[in-house]
Structure 1
Amino acid sequence: MADTVGTEALHAWIREFARLIAEHKDLLTELDSAIGDADHGVNLHRGMSAVVEVLAKETPGRPGELLKRTGMTLVSTVGGASGPLYGTAFLRMSAIAGDAETLDGADLARVLRAALDGVVARGKAQAGDKTMYDALAPAVESLEESIAAGQPLGEALDGALRAAEQGRAATIAMVARKGRASYLGERSAGHQDPGATSVTLLVAAAAAALA
């Protein structure tokens, strides 16, 4: 695996995320039906399908522009909470990528840290709230630690995926403190969070595609 990624690799990441969302759309909807509005899978599938279509027509030349266009498309096409959250995450990523032609491992860690910061700014979530934060934060922290320790990008992303999967699983026992799920109180425990599930697919797509 190359330790730098360019626009082509990031485009592959976006396409793989869209594919995984399509594949798991019914699961995401099922999870959301238990503690939310039952629209997470449908909304994200619509948004990512729109992103794939937009990028197929004209793929931007630089990573930052590709990430920006992804974020803007998600904001404009995805309903519910997931549109603003994912849209903000990608827009924050684009700001960090800037005008760079390629991103190395440290750059990618900073990009994903910015995505996490965007999610926090938009949703006011923190650890244990039973949200996408609970999968994304451990993934970002794992990636940062692995890159700082000198691990190759491929190994670092694999470790980030394992951390996301563990964070996703941990949401099952949590009582929701944010969003629609929080209205259920103690009854929200025992259900895997759909946002943590979809963001784990985002990390899985990165581990698979950025090679």
Structure 2
Amino acid sequence: MPDTVDITALHGWIREFARLIADHKDLLTELDAAIGDADHGINMHRGMSAVVTTLESESPGRPSEIFKRTGMTLVSTVGGASGPLYGTAFLRMSAIAGDAESLDGTDLAKLLRAALDGVAQRGKASVGDKTMLDALSPAVEALESAIEDGQPLAVALGAAVRAAEEGRAATIPMVARKGRASYLGERSAGHQDPGATSVTFLLAAAATSLS
């Protein structure tokens, strides 16, 4: 039987992501202070706290409902670019999940590919622009490759996390071409992108909760 992820595990994924954001909100804000508006950690913490409250009060019963509630809450509570981008990611995952009651590794890879495509379209960004895509894109590619090779979900998600971490680190020498950081030009080099950092937490939370 293939690895499957049920509704309880998906709730756990969102809660673990919220916990990692809360634990690292100061780091995210510090990173954003160097090249942005110094609010990424604050905004994401506020948004994910609201998401957890929403899911606990409404208790969605299907994957698509969890992702939809998460996306809509982030859009309505997170300021700056993060709300629309993360909101789009989760709403795209909701659309792909459809009426499924549970998900397997192939499903998760499709969901995250849809999230990646949504973020790229919404932000009009590409890999190399020093954005969250620089961590998300290699993570999705690593997950897809591992699943196609028949690797267990835990192994596949571990590969995705490592790829996200490498992508996150690769943003440090980059010159930003999108977002607030792009206004700094060459001065944006030498700083880790906060969006790539928070999306790495999203993958790490998945590896912890969905394996």
Whole-angstrom CA distance in 2 between matches of 1:186 and 1:118: 28
Listed one character per residue, the Cα deviations across residues 151-203 of structure 1 (whole Å, up to 9, x for unaligned) are 00000000000000000000000000000000000000000000000000000
1:170-181 mapped onto 2 (5 Å cutoff): 170-181=170-181
Q: Which residue of 1 aligns with 2:43?
A: 43
Q: Are 1:190 and 2:180 matched, yes or no? A: no
Whole-angstrom CA distance in 2 between matches of 1:28 and 1:22: 10
The residue type equivalent to 2:22 in the other structure is A
The number of equivalent residue pairs is 211
Q: Which residue of 2 aligns with 1:107?
A: 107
Q: Are 1:93 and 2:105 matched, yes or no? A: no
Whole-angstrom CA distance in 1 between matches of 2:54 and 2:44: 15
The residue type equivalent to 2:164 in the other structure is A
3-state DSSP of counterpart to 1:101: coil
Q: 1:127 offset after TM fit, Å? A: 1.1
3-state DSSP of counterpart to 1:173: coil
Listed one character per residue, the Cα deviations across residues 11-63 of structure 1 (whole Å, up to 9, x for unaligned) are 10000000000000000000000000000000000000000000011211100
The residue type equivalent to 1:109 in the other structure is A
Q: Which residue of 1 aligns with 2:52?
A: 52
1:106-125 mapped onto 2 (5 Å cutoff): 106-125=106-125
Q: TM-score, normalized by length of structure 1?
A: 0.99
Q: Which residue of 1 aligns with 2:61?
A: 61
Whole-angstrom CA distance in 2 between matches of 1:104 and 1:23: 29
Runs of 5+ unmatched residues, structure 2: none
Whole-angstrom CA distance in 1 between matches of 2:147 and 2:188: 36
Q: Which residue of 1 aligns with 2:76?
A: 76
Runs of 5+ unmatched residues, structure 1: none
Q: Which residue of 2 aligns with 1:145?
A: 145
Q: 1:7 offset after TM fit, Å? A: 1.3
Q: 1:6 offset after TM fit, Å? A: 1.5
Whole-angstrom CA distance in 2 between matches of 1:195 and 1:21: 12
Which structure 1 residue ranges, 4+ long, deviate > 4 Å from structure 2? none
Whole-angstrom CA distance in 2 between matches of 1:23 and 1:143: 26
